[in-house]
Amino acid sequence: MINEQIGGILIISGPSGCGKSTLLKEVYKNVNNYYFSISTTTRDIRDNETNGVDYFYISQDEFKEDIKNGHFLEWAKVHDNYYGTSLKPITKALKKGKLVIFDIDVQGHEIVRKKLDNLVTSVFITTPTLVQLESRLKNRNTDTIEVIKGRLENAQYEIKYFQKYDYLIINDDFKLASSKLVNIAQIARSKSTLYDKENMLEQWNK
């Protein structure tokens, strides 16, 4: 019998302020059996953080050993601490037939595509215009003018890569945008490339 519940990867990218986090909450409500990819770090855990929720916290020796053994999808050293995406929980989740969700930037999307392309469904989310993005960032009232300026410059860079994604969602109408994203998430594990061809044919011919 052909396995209908197979693991896959859903990548969400888009500029800060486009509404990714709010839209993903709708995915979590409507999609069963998912795993949100959490980064691993060697920095100390903070008082308001939880291991396995905010990050996976490990020692530098453990991190370096995992680098040597090829256990990271991607990693970087920032301010004397290591940060990376461990393949261990991702592989475990995929084997359990889960939808692994990444909220990453365009560079991260490119790395995952190169290494796990056949498993990936990707979505780029943005506002209708740069002006609207600026308005949303200012209305959040959480960033300084300089930070907002940097976010807008980064958004102008990232938007150039939207055609490298499978889908584009313009987050103008929240209800419509969330419906589209939930639909994409629900069918992400039905991609033909997720299935091993020989095994699929063997099971089908039984």
Tokens 């033909």 appear where?
Answer: 192
Q: Which CATH class is domain 38-96?
A: alpha beta
Sheet holding 8-13, edge to edge: 34-36, 99-103, 8-13, 120-126, 167-170
For a pLDDT cut of 70, what percent of the chain falls above it? 98
Residue 56: partners with Cβ closer than 8 Å, 6 or more residues away = 38, 39, 40, 41, 86, 89
Which of the 8 DSSP states describes residue 190?
G
What's the pLDDT at 131?
95
Give the residue from 20, 37, 170 showing the smallest Cα distance to 111.
37
Tokens 């044919």 appear where?
Answer: 201
pLDDT category, 108, cuts 50, 70, 90?
confident
Residue 154: partners with Cβ closer than 8 Å, 6 or more residues away = 15, 16
Kindly report the number of other CB atoms within 10 A of residue 93's CB atom. Answer: 20
Any idea what the Cα angle at residue 38 is, between residues 153 and 84, rounded to 5°?
70
CATH number for the domain running over 7-33+97-194: 3.40.50.300
Sequence spans of domains, the chain: 7-33+97-194, 38-96
Residue 12 near residue 24, CB atoms below 8 Å: yes
pLDDT in tens, 134-168: 999 999 887 889 989 998 999 999 999 999 999 99
The H or E element containing residue 28 is helix 20-30
Lowest mean pLDDT among 21-25, 68-72, 124-128, 200-204: 200-204
pLDDT in tens, 23-69: 999 999 999 899 999 989 999 998 888 998 888 999 999 999 999 99
